[in-house]
Amino acid sequence: MTTGLLPSLDGLDWDDLPAVASATTEAFDALTRNNWALLANLLTALPGDAELGAMCEQFDFLDKLVIHQGDRYRVRLHRFRPGYFDRPHDHRWSFASMILTGSYQHVQYGTNEGFDTIDPATLVPRQIRTERPGDHYVLHHTAVHSVHADAGTISLVLRGPATKDAFRIIDAPSGGSFTARGAQSETDAQRDAKRMPLPVINAAISDVLAARPATQEVTA
Protein backbone atom coordinates (compact mmCIF):
# COMPACT_ATOMS: atom_id res chain seq x y z
CA MET A 1 0.00 0.00 0.00
CA THR A 2 1.28 3.44 -0.91
CA THR A 3 1.69 5.73 2.07
CA GLY A 4 0.77 9.39 1.98
CA LEU A 5 2.24 12.55 3.41
CA LEU A 6 1.18 11.60 6.95
CA PRO A 7 1.42 7.79 7.16
CA SER A 8 -0.18 7.58 10.60
CA LEU A 9 -3.47 8.80 9.06
CA ASP A 10 -3.54 6.25 6.22
CA GLY A 11 -6.46 3.86 6.66
CA LEU A 12 -7.45 5.47 9.97
CA ASP A 13 -10.89 4.69 11.42
CA TRP A 14 -12.05 8.18 12.43
CA ASP A 15 -14.79 6.72 14.67
CA ASP A 16 -12.14 5.03 16.84
CA LEU A 17 -11.15 8.04 18.97
CA PRO A 18 -8.26 6.38 20.86
CA ALA A 19 -6.75 5.43 17.49
CA VAL A 20 -7.43 8.93 16.14
CA ALA A 21 -5.76 10.51 19.18
CA SER A 22 -2.62 8.39 18.71
CA ALA A 23 -2.44 8.85 14.92
CA THR A 24 -3.06 12.60 14.96
CA THR A 25 -0.51 13.17 17.73
CA GLU A 26 2.07 11.59 15.43
CA ALA A 27 0.82 13.67 12.48
CA PHE A 28 0.93 16.92 14.44
CA ASP A 29 4.50 16.17 15.43
CA ALA A 30 5.46 15.50 11.81
CA LEU A 31 3.90 18.77 10.67
CA THR A 32 5.38 21.01 13.37
CA ARG A 33 8.79 19.56 14.22
CA ASN A 34 11.93 21.42 13.11
CA ASN A 35 10.33 24.85 13.34
CA TRP A 36 7.18 23.81 11.43
CA ALA A 37 9.29 22.59 8.49
CA LEU A 38 6.68 20.37 6.81
CA LEU A 39 3.87 22.78 7.58
CA ALA A 40 5.88 25.65 6.07
CA ASN A 41 6.51 23.59 2.91
CA LEU A 42 2.78 22.93 2.50
CA LEU A 43 1.96 26.60 3.00
CA THR A 44 4.59 27.70 0.49
CA ALA A 45 3.17 25.30 -2.12
CA LEU A 46 -0.47 26.32 -1.57
CA PRO A 47 -0.63 29.31 -3.98
CA GLY A 48 0.38 27.03 -6.86
CA ASP A 49 -2.34 24.44 -6.17
CA ALA A 50 -5.60 25.60 -7.72
CA GLU A 51 -7.62 22.71 -6.27
CA LEU A 52 -6.59 23.45 -2.70
CA GLY A 53 -6.86 27.19 -3.25
CA ALA A 54 -10.49 26.78 -4.30
CA MET A 55 -11.23 25.18 -0.90
CA CYS A 56 -9.73 28.04 1.12
CA GLU A 57 -12.41 30.23 2.71
CA GLN A 58 -12.63 33.61 4.43
CA PHE A 59 -15.30 34.77 6.86
CA ASP A 60 -15.74 37.94 8.91
CA PHE A 61 -13.58 36.67 11.79
CA LEU A 62 -11.92 33.50 10.46
CA ASP A 63 -9.69 32.32 7.62
CA LYS A 64 -9.57 28.64 6.64
CA LEU A 65 -6.57 27.49 4.61
CA VAL A 66 -6.72 23.98 3.16
CA ILE A 67 -3.09 22.93 2.75
CA HIS A 68 -3.29 19.21 1.98
CA GLN A 69 -5.90 16.71 0.79
CA GLY A 70 -5.10 13.11 1.73
CA ASP A 71 -6.96 9.92 0.85
CA ARG A 72 -9.36 10.10 3.81
CA TYR A 73 -8.27 13.24 5.61
CA ARG A 74 -7.67 16.95 5.09
CA VAL A 75 -5.14 19.32 6.69
CA ARG A 76 -6.36 22.85 7.41
CA LEU A 77 -5.12 25.96 9.18
CA HIS A 78 -7.56 28.25 10.96
CA ARG A 79 -6.57 31.86 11.61
CA PHE A 80 -8.83 33.76 14.00
CA ARG A 81 -9.31 37.51 13.81
CA PRO A 82 -10.56 39.87 16.56
CA GLY A 83 -14.09 39.17 17.77
CA TYR A 84 -14.29 35.49 16.82
CA PHE A 85 -16.74 33.24 18.59
CA ASP A 86 -19.06 30.55 17.35
CA ARG A 87 -22.30 29.02 18.53
CA PRO A 88 -22.77 25.49 19.88
CA HIS A 89 -22.58 23.07 16.97
CA ASP A 90 -21.68 19.54 15.96
CA HIS A 91 -19.71 18.57 12.83
CA ARG A 92 -20.09 16.49 9.70
CA TRP A 93 -16.74 14.82 10.42
CA SER A 94 -14.53 13.82 13.34
CA PHE A 95 -11.34 15.85 13.70
CA ALA A 96 -8.27 16.73 15.76
CA SER A 97 -7.10 20.27 16.46
CA MET A 98 -3.80 21.67 17.73
CA ILE A 99 -3.15 25.25 18.85
CA LEU A 100 -0.07 26.76 17.21
CA THR A 101 -0.29 30.32 18.55
CA GLY A 102 -2.71 32.22 20.76
CA SER A 103 -5.47 30.50 22.72
CA TYR A 104 -9.20 29.94 22.85
CA GLN A 105 -11.86 29.03 25.35
CA HIS A 106 -13.27 25.66 24.40
CA VAL A 107 -16.74 24.73 25.69
CA GLN A 108 -18.13 21.19 25.33
CA TYR A 109 -21.82 20.40 25.83
CA GLY A 110 -22.05 16.62 25.32
CA THR A 111 -23.36 14.79 22.26
CA ASN A 112 -25.89 15.80 19.62
CA GLU A 113 -28.53 13.32 20.80
CA GLY A 114 -31.83 15.20 20.56
CA PHE A 115 -29.98 18.18 19.09
CA ASP A 116 -32.60 18.76 16.39
CA THR A 117 -35.31 19.59 18.92
CA ILE A 118 -33.37 20.85 21.95
CA ASP A 119 -34.40 24.07 23.69
CA PRO A 120 -31.29 26.32 23.53
CA ALA A 121 -32.00 27.46 27.08
CA THR A 122 -31.43 23.91 28.36
CA LEU A 123 -28.03 23.50 26.67
CA VAL A 124 -25.42 23.74 29.44
CA PRO A 125 -21.61 23.35 29.34
CA ARG A 126 -20.19 20.02 30.47
CA GLN A 127 -16.56 21.10 30.21
CA ILE A 128 -14.85 24.48 29.81
CA ARG A 129 -11.11 24.68 29.20
CA THR A 130 -8.55 26.99 27.66
CA GLU A 131 -6.55 25.58 24.74
CA ARG A 132 -3.02 27.02 24.50
CA PRO A 133 -0.04 26.53 22.14
CA GLY A 134 0.90 22.87 21.94
CA ASP A 135 -2.49 21.67 23.25
CA HIS A 136 -4.39 19.31 21.00
CA TYR A 137 -7.61 17.36 21.25
CA VAL A 138 -9.85 15.00 19.27
CA LEU A 139 -13.60 15.51 18.80
CA HIS A 140 -16.12 13.01 17.42
CA HIS A 141 -18.60 14.32 14.86
CA THR A 142 -21.46 13.77 17.33
CA ALA A 143 -19.89 16.08 19.95
CA VAL A 144 -21.36 19.56 20.48
CA HIS A 145 -18.93 22.39 21.27
CA SER A 146 -18.17 26.09 20.79
CA VAL A 147 -15.01 28.20 20.67
CA HIS A 148 -14.20 31.79 21.68
CA ALA A 149 -10.77 32.62 20.27
CA ASP A 150 -8.25 35.34 21.08
CA ALA A 151 -7.28 37.51 18.12
CA GLY A 152 -4.34 36.07 16.20
CA THR A 153 -4.90 32.49 17.32
CA ILE A 154 -3.82 29.90 14.74
CA SER A 155 -4.90 26.27 14.93
CA LEU A 156 -3.96 23.24 12.86
CA VAL A 157 -6.86 20.92 12.04
CA LEU A 158 -6.83 17.32 10.81
CA ARG A 159 -10.31 16.31 9.68
CA GLY A 160 -11.61 12.94 8.64
CA PRO A 161 -14.14 12.10 5.92
CA ALA A 162 -17.66 13.50 6.16
CA THR A 163 -20.14 11.08 7.71
CA LYS A 164 -23.29 13.16 7.13
CA ASP A 165 -24.55 15.88 4.81
CA ALA A 166 -25.30 18.54 7.41
CA PHE A 167 -24.54 19.80 10.90
CA ARG A 168 -26.63 21.81 13.33
CA ILE A 169 -25.95 25.17 15.00
CA ILE A 170 -27.73 26.42 18.13
CA ASP A 171 -28.44 30.16 18.21
CA ALA A 172 -29.21 30.83 21.89
CA PRO A 173 -29.97 34.60 21.52
CA SER A 174 -32.78 33.88 19.06
CA GLY A 175 -33.87 30.73 20.86
CA GLY A 176 -33.59 28.72 17.67
CA SER A 177 -31.28 26.56 15.61
CA PHE A 178 -30.49 25.95 11.97
CA THR A 179 -28.84 23.41 9.72
CA ALA A 180 -25.71 24.07 7.65
CA ARG A 181 -24.55 21.86 4.80
CA GLY A 182 -21.24 21.07 3.13
CA ALA A 183 -19.82 22.65 -0.01
CA GLN A 184 -21.42 20.02 -2.24
CA SER A 185 -24.84 21.47 -1.36
CA GLU A 186 -23.92 25.12 -1.95
CA THR A 187 -24.67 27.17 -5.04
CA ASP A 188 -21.87 28.73 -7.09
CA ALA A 189 -22.80 32.12 -5.65
CA GLN A 190 -22.54 30.81 -2.08
CA ARG A 191 -19.16 29.29 -2.79
CA ASP A 192 -17.87 32.44 -4.48
CA ALA A 193 -18.98 34.59 -1.54
CA LYS A 194 -16.58 32.87 0.86
CA ARG A 195 -13.81 31.73 -1.50
CA MET A 196 -10.47 33.30 -0.56
CA PRO A 197 -8.81 35.29 -3.40
CA LEU A 198 -5.18 34.46 -4.13
CA PRO A 199 -3.79 37.76 -2.74
CA VAL A 200 -5.62 37.07 0.53
CA ILE A 201 -4.25 33.51 0.59
CA ASN A 202 -0.73 34.87 0.11
CA ALA A 203 -1.21 37.42 2.91
CA ALA A 204 -2.56 34.77 5.27
CA ILE A 205 0.38 32.48 4.49
CA SER A 206 2.83 35.29 5.25
CA ASP A 207 1.14 35.96 8.58
CA VAL A 208 1.22 32.28 9.57
CA LEU A 209 4.87 31.87 8.62
CA ALA A 210 5.74 35.01 10.57
CA ALA A 211 4.29 33.32 13.66
CA ARG A 212 6.71 30.37 13.47
CA PRO A 213 8.65 29.82 16.70
CA ALA A 214 12.19 31.16 16.74
CA THR A 215 14.85 28.67 15.72
CA GLN A 216 16.78 27.40 18.69
CA GLU A 217 20.51 27.96 18.38
CA VAL A 218 22.69 25.00 19.25
CA THR A 219 25.56 25.87 21.55
CA ALA A 220 28.63 23.77 22.26
* pLDDT tens across the length of the chain (220 residues): 346 899 999 999 999 999 999 999 999 999 999 999 999 999 999 999 999 999 999 988 899 999 999 989 999 999 998 887 778 888 899 999 999 999 999 999 988 887 777 777 788 899 999 999 999 999 999 999 999 999 999 999 999 999 988 777 777 666 666 666 666 666 677 677 789 999 999 999 999 999 998 775 545 4
Closest CA to 143 of 118, 121, 115: 115
Where are the strands (E) in the chain, listed by range?
57-58, 62-69, 74-80, 95-101, 104-111, 127-131, 136-139, 143-149, 154-159, 166-171, 176-181
Q: How far is CA 105 from CA 95, 131, 137, in A?
A: 18, 6, 13
* pTM, two decimal places: 0.89
CA distance 13 to 34: 28
